[in-house]
Amino acid sequence: MPLRWRSILSEPRFVGRAAVGFGLVTAITALTAITSALYARDASARREQMLATYATDLTNAYRAQLAAEKMVAVGRGYLLAANAKGLERFREAEAQLDRSLDALDRAGASAHERELLAQAKGSAVHYRTMFDDIIESGDQPGPARSEALRDKLIPAREDLGTRLEELVDHKRELQDAATRNARRIDARTFVFMASFGIGGAVMSVLLAWGFTKHLGQIYRREQDAAARANAAAAAKEDLLGIVAHDLRNPLGAILLKATLIGKQTEDTRTRSQAESITAIATRAEAFIQKLLDAARIEAGRLSVAWKRCMVADLLATTMETFGALAAQKGVTLEPEIGRADLAFWGDPERIAQVVANIVGNALKFTPEDGQVTIRAVESGFHTRIEVRDTGPGIASQHLPRIFDRFWKADAEGRQGTGLGLYIAKGIIEMHRGRIWAESLVGVGSAFIFELPIAPPSAAEAEPPAGPDERRPAESESQRGAAVGEHPHR
């Protein structure tokens, strides 16, 4: 995998702490909002209940006053006219007065309220008693009745009116006090909600500032570590370049000498040894090149010479390179192409290197009478190339790791350096593509990669910016399941 600095936001530690900070800020904000809402609801309920209670009391006090005035007026008319219907109306007004006074007798009333109510009820009872006494003494002469009205009933009526007026005035005062208290409740509610909201906002800001500062420190540490890792990778590439340069010269001399010895000698044993030396030196030179490619990929310095490449040319080169080897091993090597003008954007030498590595591995692990198929098709905005073999397959536990650098399964007869598929993956990713493996043990394996497609009418020197972005993004779990390589490649 190339050592390209991944975004700090994808680091689990960074994400975890950012989630904690966001959760705390969200919790404080939610708690502030819920507490304020509950307090406001409670304050509003108390305010409405208080206003409703005193409004009802004042209404009942007014009703009692009106019922008393009606009772007095109807009683005066009855005493003057002695009409039976007038007495009935008097009793109705009397009952209405009792109901209004009883409605004022509620739980929670103050002692002064109860005292005023008791005085009003007592005055009403006294007035009715005086009225009934005058009715019962109906056979009294006119002067005696007038004297009773003047001396008893009128003072009782005035006392009842006074008591009810005091009761109404007190209820009006309570109503006014309740209105003022409601305003105070509103003011206190506003102050509380504003203070609580400001406090919550301050706490959220402080928490956000603290977590931002802490995450900034993590960001800087990770950024410094990434910079150091990139510098180390670049230094390693430079060192490998120097070492490779110093090794290639003697290797070239060894190859030249071994080739000359093999051509000039007549001795079979000497020729065989010269060919062995040539093969070993060739493998060493290939290994040095792989190390250099891996170092460039790790440092993100692998260059790509973009051009429009024909898939047919790539397959023809591959068949020319591996056709004889496939025939020698008794393996059928078969190319398939979706259409003759299928093309892709990329570096033809680098992509040929990828295909050669995959096909070489497929031939290496496919038994005699097996088949290796190289198939190229169009897939949306990409050109897809598949290499399928009928080899032994790859165990599922190995698939997630086969693109790792220097990784090989612990198995007998393992071959290779463990860099081939690592380099192949790096090259494909540098081409804005993707690569993955699919396999069933005992059935075979398929190595698939996609590159930006080059339409037949394309004339640009390189692909449009971000062609890979047109493909729907994959989740990490999907990508991890798809990317894989042969454990021995």
The 10s digit of each residue's pLDDT in 118-152 is 988 888 888 888 888 877 776 554 555 566 666 77
Q: Which of 15-29, 41-55, 85-99, 176-190 has the lowest mean pLDDT?
A: 15-29
Burial per residue of 151-177, b for 16 or more beta-carbon CB atoms within 10 angstroms, e otherwise: ebbeebbebbbebbeebbebbeebbee
The yes-or-no verdict on residue 438 having pLDDT over 50 is yes
Q: What value does the mean pLDDT take over residues 313-332?
A: 93
Between 469 and 448, whose confidence is greater? 448
Best-predicted range by mean pLDDT among 159-168, 189-198, 293-302, 338-347? 338-347
Task: Look at residue 392 in the predicted model and tell me its pLDDT.
Answer: 92
The yes-or-no verdict on residue 67 having pLDDT over 80 is yes
Amino acid at 153: L
CATH architecture of residue range(s) 303-482 = 2-Layer Sandwich (3.30)
Q: What value does the mean pLDDT take over residues 246-263?
A: 75
The yes-or-no verdict on residue 53 having pLDDT over 70 is yes
- Average of per-residue pLDDT values in the chain: 78
Task: Look at residue 462 in the predicted model and tell me its pLDDT.
Answer: 58
Instruction: Indicate the helix (H) or strand (E) that contains 33.
Output: helix 12-81
Between 22 and 5, whose confidence is greater? 22
Q: What value does the mean pLDDT take over residues 172-179?
A: 84
Half-sphere exposure of 68 (CA within 13 A, CB side): 28
Confidence of residue 366 (pLDDT cuts 50, 70, 90): very high
Which regions of 60-140 does DSSP assign to beta strands (E)? none
CATH 1.20.120.1730 in the chain: give the residue spans: 12-204
Between 272 and 414, whose confidence is greater? 272
The yes-or-no verdict on residue 368 having pLDDT over 60 is yes
The yes-or-no verdict on residue 114 having pLDDT over 50 is yes
Confidence of residue 472 (pLDDT cuts 50, 70, 90): very low
How many CB atoms sit inside 10 A of residue 6's CB? 10
Q: Which of 18-22, 39-43, 382-386 has the lowest mean pLDDT?
A: 18-22
313: tokens are 């040319």
Amino acid at 182: A
pLDDT above 70 coverage of the chain, percent: 78
**CA dihedral sign of residues 347, 348, 354, 355:** positive
Between 96 and 472, whose confidence is greater? 96
- Of 347, 319, 311, the closest CA to residue 427 belongs to 347
Task: Look at residue 239 in the predicted model and tell me its pLDDT.
Answer: 64
Burial level of 18, CB count in 10 A (0-12/13-18/19+)? Answer: middle
Task: Look at residue 199 in the predicted model and tell me its pLDDT.
Answer: 80
Q: What value does the mean pLDDT take over residues 457-484?
A: 45
Burial per residue of 250-287, b for 16 or more beta-carbon CB atoms within 10 angstroms, e otherwise: ebeebbeebeebbeeeeeeeeeeebeebbeebeeebee
Burial level of 135, CB count in 10 A (0-12/13-18/19+)? Answer: middle
CATH 3.30.565.10 in the chain: give the residue spans: 303-482
Q: What value does the mean pLDDT take over residues 270-286?
A: 78
Task: Look at residue 376 in the predicted model and tell me its pLDDT.
Answer: 95
Task: Summarize pLDDT for 385-423 with one digit per residue, the tens.
Answer: 999 999 999 888 888 888 887 766 654 444 556 778 888
CATH topology of domain 12-204: Four Helix Bundle (Hemerythrin (Met), subunit A) (1.20.120)
Q: Are 297 and 426 in contact (CB under 8 A)?
A: yes
Half-sphere exposure of 447 (CA within 13 A, CB side): 30
Confidence of residue 43 (pLDDT cuts 50, 70, 90): confident
Q: What value does the mean pLDDT take over residues 48-63?
A: 84
Confidence of residue 40 (pLDDT cuts 50, 70, 90): confident
Q: Are 152 and 140 in contact (CB under 8 A)?
A: no
